[in-house]
Chain A
Amino acid sequence: MVEIRWHSRAGQGAVTGAKGLGSVVATTGKEVQAYALYGSAKRGAAMNAFNRIDDKPITNHETKMSPDYVFVIDPALAFSDDITKNDKPDTKYIITTHLPKEELIAQIPELQDKKDRVYVVDCIQISLDTIGRSMPNTPVLGAFMKVSGMYDLDFFLENMKKVLSKFPQKIIDANMEAITRAYNEVK
């Protein structure tokens, strides 16, 4: 079982991102869960989304999880959210930031002993450059493919296109570019 916790702000597309990831993974015969913890959250409020991925049907409906991966898709949440909550000795962190990795880690005490498990990528800038607005949900999935090695980039892009098929071609292309850039730029 692979478990992922997203740290996001309402409006940044974490739920869509989590469902998109689930849809792609499900095409490979795996079982998935994608859900979120929000109530009447307003745009900008901190929230969590979650993914579970397994080879057999997933029947655990506990909200809380000990994640294998933590995605932080809003730069400020790395500082204000408890991003290491319920983590494991091998939990990997993919954090959106404009800061160099060392500079970011230096400012977050909880990450001091996890330096080799922290990956950074500027999903905000990437989405501004490609999609034209701050939408860090799809780029972080590109970074995830690189860090986890779960699927080839090309395979992921092909399947993600299907997930986004209801959008205009221009948006789909921009998302593909954003995913590719994050895949190449994550450190």
Chain B
Amino acid sequence: MAKKFELNEVEVWDGNYAASQALRQAQVDVVAAYPITPSTPIVENYGAYQANGFVDGEFVMVESEHGAMSGCVGAAAAGGRVATATSSQGFALMTEVLYQASGMRMPIVLTVVNRALASPLNVRGDHSDMYLGRDSGWIQLDAFNSQEAYDLTLCAFKIAEHLDVRLPTMVHQDGFTTSHKAQNVRPLQDEVAYKFVGDYKPVDDMLDFTRPVTHGAQTEEDWHFEHKAKQHKALMDSPKVIDEVFKEFKELTGREYKRVESYMMDDAEVAMVILGSSVETAVLAAKELREKEGIKVGIIAPRNFRPFPFDLIRDELDRENLKAVVCMDKSAPGGAMGALFNEVAGALTSTKARPMVTNYIYGLGGRDFSIEEAQRIMKEQKAHADAGHITTQIQQFSGVRGPKLGFYETRRGK
């Protein structure tokens, strides 16, 4: 029986430590992991808990992240609660197996500390790895600070393992900005956290020898499509359970999570759609701008990146008073508009209000996102709103040296 870990009501934890404590409290059966900056401390701490008797489960050291996720798939198929952590190149190496895990409906929890993808080599945070996972069939939750990294990791087990979901779930936090920033965290006591997560319920576990099953079978054109359609439907139906779990978590802790977080949107004339730790900075910038210059700025932050909350985003954007929306993408778009822009713009097309929408690429490789820059961008949206048309190019870059970069002109209202 695992030893109880003494916790204070308020701890000062960074996001990595917070995530590792949540894994410990969930009493995971198998963690198969390969360390990579900046998520290394998650598995390092977990290994220490295991070695010191704070967890009963197994810790499997593997030769690579591909091996780590493969180990997780095997353990999950066997019938255990499974989790691991990774970042960046490790995430990229895992990608092949991420699709296997979701296709096989293995409710694995992956804590991802978001980091840029090489080349050039960079250990600092952006959302390249998070975006790389967006078609992998996993549920993706996004934490904006260390408290949320802890809370959402506990929620992730409950969502992933729910019998109506059975899908692997990632909990994202920003490399260094969240993972290495110690902040006040209010953890649950061990027994309270475990009770919330609940006992693991195996489904078609391979260790049940009385009922032999096959996982990961070959299907070809005869059944592949039906499997994928079913998997997609499971993702599209998962918000019901996600909402329930968030509601239960709020009843337990008073901390409220929504699939789309929104701030000051009721009377907003311009809005910023943004992800990760930058959400909190943006909210601060917007509040200041409202006070100082009276510009009505609102912030929309998808907490649930996958399944993409198309409906909720549309609800937030379909407001008569809302004139201009900027979507902030912290990932190199690779010859397209940013992914967040594309998805938000997609949701916008069927709104009545159809506000103008523009795109910024920002913060790549850990480039600092300042309140000042956030406010400059917000004021630019106000200029679009006042002019009645987009006054800049549709896609721009924020905080990058060299000649000003921008792409595409509007064809509306000029």
On A, residues with C-beta under 8 Å from B are 18-19, 22-23, 26-27, 31-36, 39-40, 57-64
Among A22, A39, A40, A61, the most chain B Cβ lie within 10 Å of the Cβ of: A61
B277 CB contact (under 8 Å) in A23, A39, A61, A64? A61
* Chain A residue contacts of B162, Cβ below 8 A: none
Assembly CA distance A31 to B146 (angstroms): 13
Give, as a whole number of angstroms, the nearest-CB distance from B117 to chain A: 15
How many B residues have CB within 8 A of the partner chain?
29
Q: What is the total of A-B residue contacts with beta carbons within 8 Å?
A: 70
Tell which of A27, A34, A57, A60 touches B182, judged by Cβ atoms closer than 8 Å: A34
Find chain B residues with CB under 8 A from A35 CB: 14, 176-177, 180-182
The distance in angstroms between the C-alpha atoms of A26 and B10, with both chains bound, is 7
Chain A residues with Cβ under 8 A from B180's Cβ?
35-36
CB proximity of B291 to chain A, nearest CB, Å:
15
Q: B371, A60: Cβ atoms under 8 Å? A: yes
Q: What's the nearest-Cβ distance from chain B to residue A66, in Å?
A: 11
Q: Which of B234-289 contact A (CB under 8 A)?
A: 277-278, 280-281, 283-284
Instruction: Mark out the residues of chain B between 143 and 188 whose CB falls within 8 Å of any chain A CB in the assembled complex.
Output: 145, 174, 176-178, 180-184
Report yes or no: A33 in contact with B182, Cβ–Cβ below 8 A.
yes
A64 and B12 within 8 A (CB)? no
| B370 lies within 8 A of A34 (CB) | no
Least CB separation from B10: chain A residue: A26
Interface centre among B10, B177, B180, B182 (most CB of A within 10 A): B182
Is there an interface contact between A60 and B123, defined as CB atoms closer than 8 Å? no
Which chain B residues have a beta carbon within 8 Å of chain A's beta carbons? 10-12, 14, 37, 122-124, 145, 174, 176-178, 180-184, 277-278, 280-281, 283-284, 366, 368-371
Chain B residue nearest to A26 in the complex (CB) = B12
Decide if A60 touches B281 in the complex (CB within 8 Å).
Answer: yes
Tell me the bound Cα distance from A21 to B194 in angstroms.
Answer: 31
Contacts A34-B181, A35-B181, A39-B123 given; does A23 touch B12 at CB 8 Å: yes
**Do the beta carbons of B369 and A32 come within 8 Å of each other?**
no
Residues of A within 8 A of B14 (CB): 19, 35
A166 to chain B, nearest CB (A): 11
Q: A39-B123, A61-B178 are in contact. List 11 more A-B contacts (CB 8 A).
A: A18-B182, A22-B182, A26-B10, A32-B12, A34-B12, A39-B366, A60-B284, A61-B280, A62-B369, A62-B370, A63-B177
With beta carbons under 8 angstroms apart, the residue of B10, B37, B368 that contacts A62 is: B368
Q: Are A59 and B184 in contact (CB under 8 A)?
A: no
A62:B281 contact, CB within 8 angstroms: yes
Bound CA–CA A62/B363 (angstroms) = 11
Contact of A22 among B12, B178, B280 (CB under 8 A): B12
* Interchain Cβ contacts under 8 Å between A and B, 25 examples: A18-B182, A19-B14, A22-B12, A22-B183, A26-B184, A31-B184, A33-B181, A33-B183, A35-B177, A35-B180, A35-B182, A39-B122, A39-B124, A40-B37, A57-B184, A59-B281, A59-B283, A60-B281, A61-B174, A61-B177, A61-B277, A61-B369, A62-B281, A62-B370, A63-B177
Q: Tell me which residues across on chain A come within 8 A of B366, comparing CB atoms.
A: 39
A63 and B368 contacting across the interface, CB-CB below 8 Å? yes
Q: Is A64's CB under 8 angstroms from B368's CB?
A: yes
B280 touches A32 (CB 8 A): no
Q: Which residues of the other chain, A, contact B371 by a CB distance below 8 angstroms?
A: 60, 62
Q: Which of B123, B178, B182, B370 contacts A19 (CB 8 A)?
A: B182
- Which residues of chain B come closer than 8 Å to A33, judged between CB atoms? 181-183
C-alpha spacing A60/B183, complex, angstroms: 12
Residue among B12, B278, B283, B284 with the highest chain A CB neighbour number at 10 A? B12
Task: Please name the residue on chain A nearest to B37 by beta carbon.
Answer: A40
How long is the Cα–Cα vector from A27 to B178 in the complex, in angstroms? 21
Tell me whether A32 and B370 are in contact in the complex, defined as CB-CB below 8 angstroms, given that A23-B12, A39-B124 are known contacts: no
Residue of A nearest to B277 (CB): A61
CA distance A27 to B12 in the complex (A): 9
| Interface pair A32/B281, CB less than 8 Å apart | no
The reply to whether A59 and B284 form a contact with Cβ atoms under 8 Å apart is: yes
Complex: chain A residue closest to B174, CB-CB: A61
Residue pair A59, B280 in contact (C-beta under 8 Å) = yes
Given known A22-B12, A34-B12, A39-B124, contact A58–B182 (CB-CB < 8 A)? no
